[in-house]
A and B are shown apart, each in its own frame.
Chain A
Amino acid sequence: MSASAHSMIEIRGVTKRFGSFTAVNDISLSVREGEFITLLGPSGCGKTTLLRLLAGFETPDAGSILLAGEDVSHLPPYRRSVNQVFQSYALFPHLTVRENVGFGLRMQQVPAAAAAERIREALATVSLEPMADRFPHQLSGGQRQRVALARAIVCRPQVLLLDEPLSALDAKLRHAMQLELKHLQRRLGLTFVFVTHDQEEALTMSDRIAIINHGRIEQLGDASEIYHKPRTPFAADFIGQANLLSVTVLSRHATTARVRLDDGLELTVSAAELPAATQTALISIRPEKIHISKRPIEAENVFSARIQEEIFQGATDQLWLVTDQGTRLHALVANESAMNEAYHEGERVYCSLHPDDLVVVQSA
């Protein structure tokens, strides 16, 4: 129970149903103070419902939610010290930027002078001071997003909830805002719960990521753990790209195991990954983990393949390989130098895989 003393948010076995549909299915999650946690998943996975449960727009059918140690499961949103940045921003169209940002302070009856100072501070934080007297419809999408952010942080919430706040911005602005949000979170030391379906956004910003699918947490971990050690096929496939291959276990040794792909190719994997009685498994290989060379290489797990398709993407080359045994693999090579050897469709190449890069995501 000492863990809950330090956690800002404690979700305990929360379930939420809408009719016969279970949006959130027995989720437990604990978030530390000052942590940036991302709820990542496809649309309809329950991530937004979980956020709405935290905000107080929904009440759980089972389980409880603790905020800084206090059970808030059945408190209305206006009695919780959390604030949300809405996906649509939800700026009040009849109020100026200043009035929008000051809305929460007005509701808390903060004295006018103190409120004015806090509004100025919040607007300065998002570099929007010159826009204070404009109406939302006079602002660009990015500016509106900043107003929504300022309006939420000016209330000094214990937790800031962000519901896909960047999804309406264009790619360039989105990337800039990702970093800006991350910096802001560090500077304010605020606990952020960020909802997104964009895995790149999640990897860029989060301290920890909770991958949510069908109302459950599939995997919880930091970005690198989630990326390098996916624990389920869904996690492997949803984050980044992955070659998912089913294998049969042939033999086990002290630290390694021998497995055979359906097409007959035999590979060595790390035994630590493989539970004792496993006979068949599903392994995930990240495209960039496939090392490619035009000359034969001395390494483990070497096999040859033919380049079926090559797509130049600037920094990288996307390759679709077909092994001699007929398995299709997706590989990614960095274009390190224009002088580098270029790969062309139809060429034969040698591939190698490090045993640690073969990640078991399912076993039976």
Chain B
Amino acid sequence: MLAAQISPPLALGDRRRPGWRAWALITPMVAWLLLFVIMPTAILFVYSFCERDEVGGVIFHFTWENYQRVLDPVYLLIFARSIGYAGLTTIICVVVGYPVAYYIARATEERRNRLLLLVMVPFWTSFLIRTYAWITILKQEGLLNGLLQSMHVTTGPLSLLYTPTAVVIGLVYAYLPFMILPIYGSAEKLDNALIEAAYDLGAGPLRAFSAVIVPLTMPGIAAGTLLVFVPAIGMFAITDLMGGAKVPMIGNVIQNQFLQARDWPFGAALGVVFMLMFAITYGILQSRHARPES
């Protein structure tokens, strides 16, 4: 490390061929990725073509059976439901997060920093504790029901917890900052003169928003969508805790295969399909995004 600091920086022409120092610097990261990302993924891939014995062990005997089971309507429904929940979560996050992000980006610098801090405050507490806090709010004898009844809005307690609504509330709550921050990032860079130019050329506030502001903050929306949709679809803790395992998502099913059901090969197959789904979606998004650049 010290040697790297003392030695002169690499000359511009050397950039394409990193020297041994550069390799030395990235070796820990490469080793980490190999050991904890590439290897497990490879193992998962191999397992997904294996058979399961009676006690939950893995027999290395090639089979397509696990992938055939993935196509079972039961699991397809869960896949569809997961996409639905994650999609709804993402849409709500965009609708709720965009005005917040835009407002913060347009505020004065001092206010901006204070507001950004508020967005990040939830991260100071453990994710599980925050989820339990929501349970306290939403449960039958919880804060929300207590409030509604004391104000005579409702006569009896509402069943809020352990419903799909609770799951979506939990997901939106957990992932909203991941939508706000990237949108803030691109809204903050938005040149005010561009908005004025739109007004000047006859665009009312709505047209200026749809024709100029949204397209120019699209990178932020896209990044936020990716950051919310991808983890939301695989989330299992919130669905377990706030959905009461009544509305399993794909994350719960995979977790179950590895833990309770002890069917590792099938769990692995679900995982691989899940991963491919993302890879393909991401590939499509990237190629569409890259188009205007070229």
Known: A88-B191, A88-B193, A90-B191. A77 touches B200 (CB 8 A): yes
CA distance A333 to B207 in the complex (A): 58
Q: B residues within 8 A CB of A151? A: 201
Q: Which residue of B lies closest to A52 (CB)?
A: B196
The yes or no answer to B202 lying at the interface (CB within 8 A) is: yes
A-B contact pairs, 10 of them (CB 8 A): A76-B204, A78-B201, A78-B202, A90-B196, A94-B216, A94-B292, A103-B198, A103-B203, A107-B201, A135-B292
- Contact yes or no, B207 A86, CB < 8 A: no
Q: Which residue of B lies closest to A77 (CB)?
A: B199
Q: B residues within 8 A CB of A87? A: 193
Which residues of B in the span 186-244 have a Cβ within 8 Å of any Cβ on A? 191, 193-194, 196-204, 207, 211-212, 215-216
The yes or no answer to A314 lying at the interface (CB within 8 A) is: no
CA distance A270 to B181 in the complex (A): 70
| Interface of B (DSSP majority class) | helix
- Contact yes or no, A92 B212, CB < 8 A: yes
Q: B residues within 8 A CB of A48? A: none
How many chain B residues touch the partner (CB < 8 A)?
Answer: 18
| Interface of A (DSSP majority class) | loop
Nearest Cβ distance between residue B202 and chain A, in whole angstroms? Answer: 4
Known: A86-B193, A88-B191, A88-B193. A94 touches B200 (CB 8 A): no
Q: B residues within 8 A CB of A108? A: 202
- Contact yes or no, B215 A86, CB < 8 A: no
Which of A83, A93, A106, A135 lies in contact with B200, CB distance below 8 A?
Answer: A83
Q: B residues within 8 A CB of A104? A: 201-202
- Contact yes or no, B196 A77, CB < 8 A: yes
- Contact yes or no, B191 A107, CB < 8 A: no
Q: B residues within 8 A CB of A94? A: 215-216, 292
What range describes how many residues of A lie at the interface?
A: 20 to 34
CA distance A56 to B200 in the complex (A): 8
Among A78, A84, A108, chain B packs the most CB atoms within 10 A around the CB of A78
Q: A residues within 8 A CB of B204? A: 76, 78
- Contact yes or no, B197 A90, CB < 8 A: yes
CA distance A135 to B215 in the complex (A): 15
Known: A86-B196, A86-B197, A90-B197. A107 touches B207 (CB 8 A): yes
Q: Which residue of A lies closest to B218 (CB)?
A: A94
Q: Which residue of B lies closest to A108 (CB)?
A: B202
Q: A residues within 8 A CB of B207? A: 107
Known: A78-B204, A107-B207. A90 touches B199 (CB 8 A): no
